[in-house]
Amino acid sequence: MPTTTSFPPRSAALRRGGAAVLAASASLLIPLATAAPALAAPGPASPSASASPGASHGASHGATAPDGKAKPPNKPAKEPPAQMSTVGGELLGKPGTQVQLGPGAPQLPKEISGDSWLVADAESGDILAAHNVHWKLPPASTLKMLFADTVLPKFPKDQKHKVLASDLAGMGEGSSQVGIKEDSTYTVHDLWLGVFLRSGNDAVHALSAMNGGTAKTVQDMQAHAEELQALDTHVVTPDGYDAEGQVSSAYDLTLFARSGLQNADFREYCSTVSAQFPGEEKPGKKRETFGIQNTNRLLTGAAGLQPYKGMAGVKNGSTTNAGNTFTGVAQHDGKKLLVTVMNPDIKEANEVYKETQRLLDWGFEAAGHVKPVGVLVPPKGGDKSGGRAGQGAGAQASVTGSSKDGMWTALGITGGALAVLAVAGFVVHRRHPLPDLVRRRPKS
């Protein structure tokens, strides 16, 4: 019989313990059909990504709170509430770690210091292990997953937008930017690359202007969060910048990722490693471009980290108030997992990625040997996502390439241009499927 384990919240002393990490060693662009969790020696890490030419970056990718002279807004409590939301299951409302180990199940990794985290099957929605998943915490730029899932379907990627000075007004001090210039024109495709690769708040604000302004976009995001049953989330800014009252949870962030991944364009952007971004338009001169790279280090590998085998997105974030946050999706041998980690207490460079790696390694080994402690719920009323997800837990369909069917197109980068490398037919559960992804190393 499965053993139900409910660990109490960790003491601050225990949560500060450091440890060496076992990281994934294989290259990103490999066939995932034969991939399995791999381990690699840790390497030195740098606390921040290098800036791209033409882009302005703060101390973190996504958004940075004010300079620290004033007390940060919305500072979270040191301990989770004694009782939290039970959306997705009764065990999810309890503080501490929830896991039900069956025969042959590995123990959870010890060096996990995140305030909140979860490991879930991306297709079935089963939550394999959870820790304070409904604790309402500042989300940082992982909130951009909700922004994208809300706004991305509204505009065709070839639509053009001339950026006005008013579009870029109101960005928080120190916000990371992809390098958008006023009075220059960008395609929607350009802007989404800026959002996903460089976590550009300038790109978020330009798209928000297209959507009727920041206030309307925040309203739309809140309504969409409620539709997804992400009830821990309160949206104040569209970009995740620290703001009084702005919170989400590991549970809700995972819902946003899972919903967004039903959209082929969302999948394309969050899995893109690098691209060329348009520079400023200058009269009488040829418009130049500059390179940008994804700040998700489990996707790209950077600062001593290797790309995680099978990693395909989704979004990272960091602010003064939120600390480091990350939601990632990866696949091995047909199994697809989502992991979210919020604010590791171990304050080492790249700790949020290291803890995600450990949880992914555990999840792929534990799958089939644990009893779920909860589930990622579907949207209210079934499918309201414009064809991105189907109704019914047991319904299945064979799909072969339609974006409405949720076909995952594997993307790589060659010379800064997106290239479709491989696709595959498959059978998926229609309740929020995460289709198979096949990546192949591009020929040199």
Q: Which two tokens stand for residue 126?
A: 């089963």
Q: Which of 85, 116, 176, 199 is catalytic?
A: 199
Catalytic (active site) residue 141:
yes
In Å, how far are 105, 178, 320 from 63, measured between CA atoms? 39, 12, 9
Cα 294 from Cα 441, distance rounded (Å): 18
Reference 7, options 138, 127, 139, 100; nearest CA is 100
* Total length of the chain: 444
Buried b (16+ CB within 10 A) or exposed e, 391-429: eeeeeeeebeeebebbbbbbbbbeeeebeebebbebebb
Cα 352 from Cα 109, distance rounded (Å): 14
Q: Which of 94, 116, 136, 144 is catalytic?
A: 144
Residue 155, C-beta contacts closer than 8 angstroms, at least 6 positions apart = 188, 207, 210
Catalytic (active site) residue 398:
no
Task: Give Rg (Cα) of the chain.
Answer: 20
Angle formed at CA 169 by CA 166 and CA 175, multiple of 5 degrees: 145
In Å, how far are 114, 115, 388, 429 from 96, measured between CA atoms? 11, 9, 33, 31
Q: Which two tokens stand for residue 336?
A: 């697809």
Catalytic (active site) residue 274:
no
Cα 143 from Cα 235, distance rounded (Å): 9
Q: Which of 85, 113, 116, 141 is catalytic?
A: 141
The residues that are catalytic are 141, 144, 199
